[in-house]
Structure 1
């Protein structure tokens, strides 16, 4: 069909960016994160952890997707995570949520050094 094919030069940055969903960062089933990687020409961006709001009782990583995409569009990698919510179990009280966030930070640091995040999230060409 004429006019339906776009070459990579005419694709928007949104089409060149990547998302990997539900990456396990800890041993608990809830310990999952979504990783938003910007387009390949964004070499100097930061790796930013976005912790959703909800007073430790409500919310999910998907609610932060809009902000992650904004950061991604600015050339940064963004990570949104799910953590143990206090209303799901008595075992999820303080300091459980902080421990989940610490696990996510450790996972990000290890994978940033190993290059896994860059290898795991290929860019469309």
Structure 2
């Protein structure tokens, strides 16, 4: 199943770690991952720092991808909700670390999250 990134030269260069558009061709399976938060396995404990919550979210995403027979390279779209725009650089670093050069389409939204302890929430789509 070909996955094609579209970053035409007529558009501005994409920000680090994403593509303007991602196309999936052929007969594909689509995995839609609901917004993930940085809770520990007990579903109650939430680390205080952005980095700790972000690491947990990306690990949770990896578990879900593996459950569907996929990995981070199958991600075609990410939507990240940040509680504080000051955490953007740390968010970019997490994305670069886990995507390892893979560049799905991506959007980052700064907003008030449902629980004031949440530093970020990430939803994703993957295809295989």
| TM-score of the pair, normalised by structure 2 | 0.26
Q: Which has the higher strand share?
A: 2
Q: Which has the higher helix share?
A: 1
Asked which structure has the greater CA Rg, the reply is 1
The higher relative CO (CA closer than 8 Å, separation ≥ 6) is in: 2
| TM-score of the pair, normalised by structure 1 | 0.27
